[in-house]
Structure 1
Amino acid sequence: MSSQKQEAVKRISAPDIRARKGGEPIVCLTAYDAPTAALLDDHCDLLLVGDSVGMVVHGMPNTVGVTLEMMILHGQAVMRGSRRAMVVIDMPFGSYEGGKEQAYQNCARVMKETGAQGVKVESGPTVAETIAYLVQRGIPVMGHVGLRPQAVLTDGAFKAKGRTDEERLRVLSEAEATADAGAFAVVIEGVAEGLAREITLAIDKPTIGIGASSACDGQILVTPDMLGLFDWTPKFVRRYADLRGDIDRAVGAYAADVKARRFPAEVETYFSKKPVTP
């Protein structure tokens, strides 16, 4: 019954997201595992299996060390947990910059092994041609401009972009090239409201903001950030929960019950069946 119900639900697709340009804002969050994906699925139009998994799940200092195998593993989990939201998987650093053919082989592998509906690439100055190559071969692509986490080693830190005229024009140009290449949507990260609005008006594809103001066509946040799992979050994150505090209190209560022998109690304990009397 459950599998039949899942099969009857039509997943949101790249054309569906593309058609939302200028309409009802697109709701997006990151997801890395099946249980979380199942909880997010009814509320989100798009779930991004972000390479942020390296930092928020695996404890890496940045996203550069994330591998293709990691993205596939987490992508498979998110696909199992969701049924209606579009699932997009980040292509990790080094998996698409080496040329169009390399990008196609890796993206095709991700699509085949996960069943996801699209991939995301960070749209540096040389990536538009690769996006066009992928789209022409049937791979839906989401772009990403502004602050690009995979460029952290060249930038030196996670810094907001577009604060100078030269940088503003570069980010705008990359966004336009990404949209023209066929990306179905473009993530804009870490830019001022004016630039986010300018990009949103300039391109005919939906923009998804993260630290880019409400001027965008949709929004995305890293789910553990907005749920309050960490003691620090970026300025642009609104915490909708305090799971860090909730988990700390729950684990503390469990530890106290174990030490006081209050857990397990009789209700949580198995007992031998009484022998049957003749």
Structure 2
Amino acid sequence: MSKVNILKLLSKKQQQEKFAMVTCYDASFAKLVEKAGIETILVGDSLGMVLQGRDSTLAVTIDDMAYHTASVARGCQQPLIISDMPFGSYNHPQQCADNAATLMRAGAHMVKIEGGSWLAESICLLNQAGIPVCCHLGLTPQSVNVLGGYRVQGRDDSQAKAILNDAIALEAAGAAMLVLECVPRQLAAEISSTLKIPVVGIGAGCDTDAQVLVLHDLLGITEKTARFVRNFAEGSNSIEDALKRYNSAVLDGSFPTDEHSFN
């Protein structure tokens, strides 16, 4: 696998080639992810729940994210590393730029932020500072208290239209990638076909340009997982084998299926 950058991922979208992403939080797993051929790693603020044992991502700090981003960066050479901006770290553009720079210095190649068109000014500022941005729409875990829980978003027409409009606005502002979480398959397909940038799905059906899963979920470590998760460790003889099976299933389109999607 050659060094992955955003231009390579854009080319994959243009050629209708899928790619896989997995969350990862340390050097040991990052090395296995790379050996499995997975091209993108998300250092997710999901570490608050997966590693720290919390009931949400809200307590994760920028220092937490920088620590785990640096750990992942030391463990691999080729994958594109995306690091989550945690809750409260990008409330205004300059704060966003300062904290994003911290994550880039730690080893990230791109940062991810949750929210809609209100982020446009911050995205522009980050691009000017040489920081690529991945945005996140649909179920945005940092907004769980506003959303009333971890629920599918975009099922009614007005909400679906708002998510689509936000996606278009974020791309226009300079977003380089978009994650769609827990939205109906039809909406994810429309957004993916509308945008020129790669769209990564999680619980968003099979029509996005890529898929992402939490490492501990796809390895069957998490006790209770969401509908969109498949345990790739079942029938595998190693963690690396499970990761290879996940990567292959994403690339050949056999994951996710209808049972992992929402209507």
> What interval of TM-score do these two structures reach, taking the shorter chain for normalisation?
0.7 to 0.9
In 1, Cα distance between equivalents of 2:161 and 2:181: 15
Q: Which residue of 1 aligns with 2:100?
A: 107
Counterpart pick for 1:37 among 30, 35, 46: 30
Counterpart pick for 2:61 among 40, 52, 67: 67
Q: How big is the shift at 1:136?
A: 2.1
2:173 pairs with 1:165: no
Q: How big is the shift at 1:10?
A: 5.5
Q: Which residue of 2 aligns with 1:151?
A: 143
Q: Which residue of 2 aligns with 1:86?
A: 80
2:120 pairs with 1:134: no
- Specify the SS of the correspondent of 1:205: coil
2:201 pairs with 1:184: no
C-alpha contact 2:56 2:141 (8 A) present in aligned 1: yes
Structure 2 length-normalised TM: 0.85
In 2, Cα distance between equivalents of 1:117 and 1:125: 23
C-alpha contact 1:14 1:118 (8 A) present in aligned 2: no
Q: Which residue of 2 aligns with 1:204?
A: 196
C-alpha contact 1:161 1:167 (8 A) present in aligned 2: yes
The structure with higher relative contact order (CA 8 Å, sep 6+) is 2
Q: Which residue of 2 aligns with 1:254?
A: none
Q: Which residue of 2 aligns with 1:270?
A: none
Q: Which residue of 2 aligns with 1:124?
A: 116
C-alpha contact 2:116 2:167 (8 A) present in aligned 1: no
Number of residues of Structure 1 aligned to a counterpart in Structure 2: 234
- After TM superposition, the structure 1 stretch with the greater mean CA deviation from structure 2, 116-125 or 67-76, is 116-125
The structure whose Rg is larger is: 1
In 1, Cα distance between equivalents of 2:29 and 2:166: 33
- Specify the SS of the correspondent of 2:13: coil
Counterpart pick for 2:167 among 165, 168, 175: 175
- Equivalent runs, 1:181-260 vs 2, <5 Å: 181-241=173-233
Q: Which residue of 2 aligns with 1:54?
A: 48
Q: How big is the shift at 1:174?
A: 1.1
C-alpha contact 2:100 2:111 (8 A) present in aligned 1: yes
C-alpha contact 1:14 1:117 (8 A) present in aligned 2: no
Q: How big is the shift at 1:19?
A: 2.4
- Specify the SS of the correspondent of 1:209: strand
In 2, Cα distance between equivalents of 1:206 and 1:107: 21
Q: How big is the shift at 1:237?
A: 0.4
Q: Which residue of 1 aligns with 2:246?
A: none
The gaps in structure 1 that reach 5 residues or longer are 1-8, 247-278
Root-mean-square deviation (CA, aligned residues, Å) is 1.6
Identical aligned residues as a percent = 39
In 1, Cα distance between equivalents of 2:142 and 2:85: 10
The gaps in structure 2 that reach 5 residues or longer are 239-263
In 2, Cα distance between equivalents of 1:193 and 1:154: 23
- Specify the SS of the correspondent of 1:163: coil
